[in-house]
Amino acid sequence: MNPQMPPKLSLPGVKQVIAVASGKGGVGKSTVAANLAMGLHMRGHSVGLMDADIYGPSVPLMFGLGTVDPKTTAFPIEKYGIRLMSMGFLVNPEQAVIWRGPKVAQAVQSFLAQIDWGALDFLVIDLPPGTGDAQLTLCQSAPLTGAVVVTTPGEVSLIDARKGVKMFAEVNVPVLGVIENMSYFVDATGTQTPIFGVGGGLKLAEESNVPFLGELPIDPRVAQCVDTGEPIVRRHPDAGVSKAYMELCAAVERVAGGAPSGELPLVQL
């Protein structure tokens, strides 16, 4: 890291800042971030969700929102009790954001420093996939409590997820744990079918010496809820994947508060 790096930004009133990351796209990281934020709110916390994916923001879609006039809109925008900020509020979804790295970093910093997040128990930050400018900017400027890394069970996802874990180690950000998404599909008989492989998330956690926060099953309703703008934990709280998300929220609460990794629950429904 650059020894001349400026001090981290102050976020008065924000108790915990959790980054949700993945090494590659397509593993459901943004869906995990949205449901983690929603689940923490449903467990009684005040929560904000910041979309740091400048090129491909998805938080507005996941919460049933669109672009707004920044001159007449107070940020963050609140929906379902969660305070939200995203580039998607400022740019039409059909318009490409064609920015070089420094401008991306500037946007991420402005979301942190110029938005009045108020008093929050948790600020969840949805990082873009990979290990580029936005990730480094957050690690260097945000007072991160730690990061959770999302992967799917297969080896292709794990290759890139390992890079994410190593990036956080190199910038001295604690990895709170690994989440395995799309672990298996449960059919009408209750039979579990591991479509994308078995055990990849646990393997990554063990080799990285970080907690394994649990497995999230495949449920077609997750995608339906994304399209209709309501996280599945809120719309279908009794679904198996929603229960897994709520257990994941409990695990994040405990590990963010410094609970020993051996006390973390293993989520497998």
- CA 218, CA 181: separation in Å to the nearest integer? 8
CA atoms within 13 A on the CB side of 255: 27
More reliable by pLDDT, 98 or 68:
68
More reliable by pLDDT, 178 or 187:
178
Task: Say yes or no to pLDDT of 190 above 90.
Answer: no
Domains in the chain: ranges and CATH: 14-263 (3.40.50.300)
Task: Say yes or no to pLDDT of 7 above 70.
Answer: no
Taking the CA atoms of residue 97, residue 62, residue 8 and residue 255 in that order, the dihedral angle to the nearest 10 degrees is -150
Q: What is the mean pLDDT of residues 243-251?
A: 93
Residue 63 neighbours by CB distance under 10 Å: 24
Q: What is the pLDDT of residue 246?
A: 95
Task: Say yes or no to pLDDT of 6 above 70.
Answer: no
Q: How high does pLDDT run on average in the chain? A: 85
- CA 86, CA 77: separation in Å to the nearest integer? 9
Per-residue confidence at 1, pLDDT binned at 50, 70, 90?
A: very low
Residue 81 neighbours by CB distance under 10 Å: 13
